């Protein structure tokens, strides 16, 4: 069965990916907020942060520290698919920041 041209299996996989990313981001926020409360609040005398604030910080830190293996992306093989790796690198250069901004915007809506 298809909905708007997409199979139900494809839509379910997309929904599971979104749910996984959301759960992973919120879990990272929970862990960071807990560690912040355990160590930074008593040591540095700073205020506690919420799970959503910590999730936002986590997104920023992941965005700033994520590293791509450029050599692997730019290493081209001969043959009909030699354009795929460089194209993936160019697409990633725009898609990763865009997805990071989207996740950050969603978190910002709940703070």
- pLDDT tens, position by position, 70-103: 666 666 566 666 666 667 767 777 787 788 888 8
pTM of the complete model: 0.66
- The reported pLDDT for the residue numbered 51 is 93
| pLDDT tens-digit readout, 12-57 | 888 898 888 888 888 888 999 999 999 999 999 999 999 999 999 9
Q: Is 66's pLDDT higher than 70?
A: yes
Q: Other CB atoms closer than 10 Å to residue 76's CB: what's the count? A: 12
Amino acid 18: pLDDT: 83
Q: How remote is the C-alpha of 29 from its chain's centroid?
A: 12
Q: Which residue has the tokens 């996989």?
A: 13
End-to-end alpha-carbon separation of the chain, Å?
A: 39
Model pLDDT, residue 100: 81
Q: Are the C-beta atoms of 89 and 74 separated by less than 8 Å? A: yes
Bridge partners for 7 per DSSP: 2
CA distance 109 to 56: 11
| pLDDT in the model for residue 70 | 64
Identify the pLDDT of residue 104.
79
Using the structure block, give the residue that is written with the tokens 């354009």.
83
């Amino acid at each position: 069965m298809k909905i708007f041209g997409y199979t139900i299996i494809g839509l379910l996989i997309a929904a599971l990916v979104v749910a996984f990313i959301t759960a992973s981001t919120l879990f990272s926020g929970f862990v960071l907020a807990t560690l912040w409360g355990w160590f930074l609040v008593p040591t540095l005398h700073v205020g506690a942060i919420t799970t959503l604030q910590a999730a936002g910080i986590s997104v920023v830190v992941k965005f700033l520290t994520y590293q791509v293996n450029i050599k692997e992306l730019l290493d081209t093989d001969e043959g009909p698919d030699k354009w795929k790796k460089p194209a993936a690198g160019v697409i990633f250069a725009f898609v990763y920041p865009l997805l990071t901004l989207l996740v950050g915007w969603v978190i910002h809506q709940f703070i």
